Each structure stands twice: as C-alpha cells, then as structure tokens.
Amino acid sequence: MTALRKYARLETIGLWRPVPDAQRREVIVSFGEASLVLTDGRTEMPLSHWSLPAVQRRNPGEMPALFAPSGDTMAETLEIDDPGMIEAIETIRTAVQRRRPRRGRGRLAVVAVTGMAILAGAVFWLPGAVVGHTTRIVPFVKREQIGRDLLVSMARFTGTPCADPQGLAVLGRLSARLFGRDGAQVVVLRDGLPAGGTAHVPGRHLLVDHSLIELPDGPEVLAGHLIVERLRGDLSDPLAEVLRAAGLRATFTLLATGSLPASALEGQAQTRLRAPAIALPTEQVLARFAAAGVPATPYALSVDPSGTTTRALIENDPIAPGTSPRLMADADWLALQAICRR
C-alpha cells in the first residue's frame, strides 16, 4: 500500500494507558503490516498491536489526539501530540479502509457462512471440536485483546496492576532474558492471587502475586515461577480454557464477530485467579529451566521448603549452584521490588 510505505519508518512517542484506571506509560508508536505497534522504549518489547481499520479517534479536532483500538470504553488508549504521526494514522486508516471494501464484505460473508455451518452441525459436534476450530483461526493480536479484557474483568478482585515505570522496565528485561523478545507480558498483582501464586491469560500474559518480588533472596524464585507458569500456558492453550468456560454461544459470537461478549469473561475472573496449579511433567520443567539458564532449586524450595515433594527438581537441577549468570543487577532487583509502591 502506497500510504503505508510512505510512513513505514515514521515513529513517535505516545502515552499509552492499558486500562482506563492505569497510569499512562510512555511508548514508541510505529506502523506494522496494517497495524499500529506500541513498543516499550526501554526494553524494545512490543506491548500492543492495533488493527489500523479499527482504530478510532476519541477526540476529533482536539490535541493531543486520543486514539483507541475500538469503540469499547474499557479499551486501552493512546495519546499522541505529534501532528505528523496523527496525520499519518488518519491517512493510513482511510487508505486501508478503502482498499478492503470488497474483501471485508467477502470475509464477513465467509465468517457468517462458516458460523452458520458450525451452528447447523453443533448438534453433532462435541464442544471441544468447536473450541479447537476457533483457537486455530484466532490471530495472536485477538488473543492479546481477550487477555487484556480478562485483566480488566479481574480488576475488581486484583486492583490496578503494579505499574512503577522503573519496575516495569526491569520486568520487561527479565521477560526478554527468560523467554526472548516476544515471550511474555508479566503483570504483578497486589491482590487476587494466592500468596506466591501465578496464573496466565491469553496473549502470553503471566500474572504473579506481589509477594514473589518481595523475597529477600533475589530474583531466581520469581524467574522460576514465571518459567513454570509459561510452560502451563504452552501445554494448555489459555484461549481454549477461556472458551470452554464461556460456552458455545460465546464461542460462536467470537467466530461471527471477532469479539467475545463481556459477560463471557466477567464470570471467569475470580475462578481463574483461584484455580489450582496444574502439575507438570518434571522432565519438561527441567528442560525449560535448562533452556533459560536458571537454576530450578530456588523455585523448588519456594514451593516446598522441605524439598520433599520437589526432590526430583532439586536432585536433577540442570544448573549447578553458583554457575548461572546473574539475572539482574542488585539495583534492578531493588527497583523491581518497588513496582507496587506507586
């Protein structure tokens, strides 16, 4: 597309608010393939991807411009005061919408026909088959959005996620160290999770209880819990878990419209926060610790201080004590421990 190529290298600084009551966060705004990409300036980790045709301006004619990825009042928002970037977003949005009129109608028709066919055959299909079909065709950007929507639903139990900027920057670097650049978005919660607990939601969001960053021994325990929770999410598709709990009607709605009804998520918030941890194969857990270069023993002892139930992890720890590189500097660990103080 000519318009997108023209602005492909354009970047600016914006103020991103992931949920309505969260603190604004400085991000780098750039263009992807028919999307607006928001990136953490310190860690260079992508934080969000917005579909350009769906982007809406909340305050036409006012400055700074306030954009949102949809018309949902609970959606994330982005403030931009760069006139060049504002003009580029408006130009590209218009170009994308003009470029896709027939394809959009065709795609809607295909989705509608597919949804009707699935609905007609629902009497014969197991619910698991419908969920499996849906999880195969939902793009990662939509998984991220569902995960963020679920976090919003959880807020009445968890409060606002901890968001001190320095602590968030350290979390971003730790996530990149453990999982690679696009590995996971770590969210620290003040309340809602059991003490020392973790959970996950679609879009590779890993939720951790604040007590895991208040330990005096260093970041290895936190890193271990993140590694294990990421493995749980990889072995049991989080979106499939959400859809099974939401039911067939909500799943068909996602197929037909591309969105889950808010009511489908509201009832899951507390259930997912309090769900018991699923036991994982020891061999796979050890393999993840080895791949990350993190010792398993600190995690194992945090789960069971006696080491009785986690003996296999301790005795087969792939990283010998004292041989692993430091996960972060002491100053970074102190900054991370202060993430909830703001």
The sign one gets for the Cα dihedral 152, 72, 265, 148 is negative
Tell me 193's DSSP state: S
Q: What is the pLDDT of residue 99?
A: 56
Burial class (CB in 10 A: 0-12, 13-18, 19+), 329: exposed
For the chain, give the mean pLDDT. Answer: 84
For residue 10, pLDDT over 50 is answered with: yes
- Element (H or E) spanning 30, and its range? strand 25-31
Model confidence at 176, pLDDT cuts 50, 70, 90, reads very high
Strand pairing category for 46-51 and 56-57: unpaired
Model confidence at 125, pLDDT cuts 50, 70, 90, reads very low
Model confidence at 108, pLDDT cuts 50, 70, 90, reads low
Residue 18 in contact with residue 76, Cβ under 8 Å? Answer: yes
- pLDDT digits 0-9 by tens, 275-293: 888 889 999 999 999 999 9
**Rounded CA gap, 255 and 152, in Å?**
22
Output the six-digit token pair for 31.
């263009």
| Domains of the chain, start order | 2-99 (2.30.29.30)
pTM for the model: 0.65
For residue 104, pLDDT over 60 is answered with: no
**Rounded CA gap, 139 and 278, in Å?**
26
